Amino acid sequence: MSVRLVLGQQDADRFEFGSSPGSEALRSLHVLAAVKRHPLHISWVLEMRTRLDARLKSDLDAFRFWFAERPLVLPEIWPPGEVNTWPDDLDLLRKAPVEDFAEPMVHAALAHRGRARRVPWERFCGDAEARERALGQVEGAHAASAAVLRELMADPEGVRERFADFLAAYWDACLAADWPSLEAHLHDEIARRFQTLSRLGPAAMLADLSDHITDHITTAADGSVTIRPPGARGTADPLDVTLAANDRVLLVPSHFMWPELAVAVHRDRDRDRDRDHGETTTVVLSYALAGMARQGRAPVPAEDLLGLLRAAGDATRLQILELLARRSRSTRELAGLIGLTEAAVSKHLKVLHKSGWIVPERHSYYVYYRLEPGARDRVSSGLDRLLGNGN
């Protein structure tokens, strides 16, 4: 699904960040089961395979259906944005209403090309046709997981306990030793994105998260971003979302996301509120850590590198880049600092923008320009590829 998020000047206050050890564990299992989709994690997967004993390998194979195509998500048990320790998350999994575990399992079993209507657990249990359809799809994708689905329908508490035991053993074997470092990187990512949000605003911050997010400057004081995850149908119109008073955007960084990007729109009904039909909207965007995204960028094609170097190969444009590296500035400010007319500076800005060095952003009635953070990395990586890094 693609989403076009329309943003206003006050929408920065509606942005939140969160990460969960439980959700990271589920994402890591997806990487373990589908490593061909995650080439940056090949070394990690090979190392983890040496840590799995026979019991863990058997359980991983039994639950593989729920990890092979996409990560299992348990939003009712581990709500995005909650901050817990791993023992807290494991305790929540064991004690949550069993339908909060069973319904996501059933939803994945019923999904076709990743899409399905959410079916309440009680309704599923009484719908023989839905049960047969779910079993057929699981058997067709991964026969070893069909026994788990049958057991789930007969004894959901038992399957939930088995899954919690599996996840606990997997955590101890594969994630526990590295979690303090992984968690520190997640906290650093969140802090850095908060700074970018405060400095550049929500549209520019979102566009910096991924190459699959595009920001748009409009003629009004608002902007928008289009979030089009890899694999989303290119011809489908994005879902338009305009944030209202109590809506929020939740950003979830992950070590185990690259090269994927996931966006979901949740509309929750609240009978105590008077807003349109009493609904609140939460846009959840899961994305890869900045460091992983940098590692995953393909080498800069020679023509792109040449365009960047040509654009920077002018004394005035180098002055502009140096000034914008300190902070964003308007055309008028740049003209005053450099000693040229605004028309002359505009011509240079057009060249820098077209080549990818700078990005415009609207502040009220004025257009400011900021340095594109990835441009310097593209030049550096392109030169390293062509000339070597000097080691």
Question: What is the reported pLDDT for 80?
Answer: 76
pLDDT at 100 over 60: yes
Q: What is the mean pLDDT of residues 202-211?
A: 88
Segment 193-200 long-range contacts (CB within 8 Å, at least 24 positions apart):
193/17, 193/251, 193/253, 194/17, 197/12, 197/15, 198/12, 200/328, 200/361, 200/370
pLDDT at 346 over 80: yes
Query: Percentage of the chain with pLDDT > 90?
Result: 63
Q: Whole-angstrom Cα distance, residue 159 to residue 149? A: 9
Condensed to tens digits (0 to 9), the pLDDT of residues 18-53 reads 888 999 999 999 999 999 999 999 999 999 999 999
Burial readout 289-306 (b: 16 or more C-beta within 10 A, e: otherwise)? bbebbeeeeeebeeeebe
Q: What is the mean pLDDT of residues 1-15?
A: 84
Question: What is the reported pLDDT for 127?
Answer: 94
Condensed to tens digits (0 to 9), the pLDDT of residues 272-321 reads 444 445 678 999 999 999 888 888 877 666 788 889 999 999 999 999 99
Pair of tokens at residue 391: 């080691």
Question: What is the reported pLDDT for 114?
Answer: 67
Q: Whole-angstrom Cα distance, residue 197 to residue 202? A: 5
Average pLDDT, the chain: 88
Residue 160's nearest CA partner among 75, 102, 106 is 102
- Which DSSP letter does residue 115 get? B
24-25-29 Cα angle (round to 5)? 115
Q: What is the mean pLDDT of residues 177-192?
A: 94
Q: Are 300 and 382 in contact (CB under 8 A)?
A: yes
Looking at residue 202, its amino acid is P
Looking at residue 331, its amino acid is T
pLDDT at 389 over 70: no
Ranked by mean pLDDT, the top range of 11-25, 74-88, 163-177, 300-314 is 163-177
| pLDDT greater at residue 72 or residue 391 | 72
Question: What is the reported pLDDT for 33?
Answer: 94
Tokens 């955590």, residue? 171
Question: What is the reported pLDDT for 217?
Answer: 55
Residue 253's nearest CA partner among 305, 326, 192, 202 is 192
pLDDT at 233 over 70: no
Q: What is the mean pLDDT of residues 235-262?
A: 89
Question: What is the reported pLDDT for 269?
Answer: 54
Q: What is the mean pLDDT of residues 115-136?
A: 91
Q: Which helix (H) or strand (E) holds 286?
A: strand 279-288
Question: What is the reported pLDDT for 219?
Answer: 41
pLDDT at 176 over 80: yes
pLDDT at 220 over 60: no
